[in-house]
Amino acid sequence: MSDFTERYGGVYEHSAWVAEQAEPIVADSKDIEQIARVMADCVDNAAEDRQLALIRAHPDLAGKAQVAGELTEDSTTEQASAGLDRCSPEEYRRFQELNQAYHDRFSFPFVMAVRSSTRAQILEAFEQRLGNERDVEFETALAEIHKIARLRLEAMEAES
């Protein structure tokens, strides 16, 4: 694995292919904005089945993977920043219901860049987005994934 892919392979959840495709274009760049744009272009120009796999690589919010401690370090930090690790039993039950309804309707998980959001805001977004058509929600999920990736890149830059 190259240094670039090792460094940026986790920016898109369990999808190192994004960094691998971006590497020939931005391997020598230190410009986070450029890296973010190129990586987003790789996703946007990928085949729909690859985009769907990327969406499905994301964990449910306040889901079983979180409870079992199976989230990536980034996902754990992001969900904790929104207080999803401190749900009341009622909130947890509501997240489980919404996760299931969302999966049943769209066949992929609800994806939202949750940093700086409250549990109430996330639940409200969940309920609103359940009314979307699949194509709209597919594009919304990809847009949220790009937000997550940009936040992860910014966090990496801040750590440097």
Average pLDDT over the chain reads 94
Give residue 67's pLDDT.
Answer: 66
pLDDT tens per residue, range 71-129: 889 988 999 899 999 999 999 999 999 999 999 999 999 999 999 899 999 999 999 99
Give residue 65's pLDDT.
Answer: 67
3-state SS, residue 82: coil
Closest by CA position to 149, among listed 45, 8, 2: 8
In whole angstroms, give the CA distance from residue 114 to residue 62: 11
Domain that residue 118 falls in: 3-159
pTM for this model (two decimals): 0.94
In the chain, the number of structural domains is 1
Q: Is the separation of the CB atoms in 126 and 110 below 8 Å?
A: yes
Does residue 58 have an active-site annotation?
A: yes
Catalytic site residue from 14, 58, 103, 146:
58
Give residue 71's pLDDT.
Answer: 82
- CATH, residue 48: 1.10.3330.10
Cα dihedral 85, 36, 14, 81, rounded to 10, equals 0
Please list, in sequence order, all residues whose beta carbon lies within 8 angstroms of the beta carbon of residue 127, skipping any fewer than 6 positions away. 98
Give residue 118's pLDDT.
Answer: 94
Structure tokens given for 3: 């240094």
Closest by CA position to 125, among listed 114, 116, 135: 114
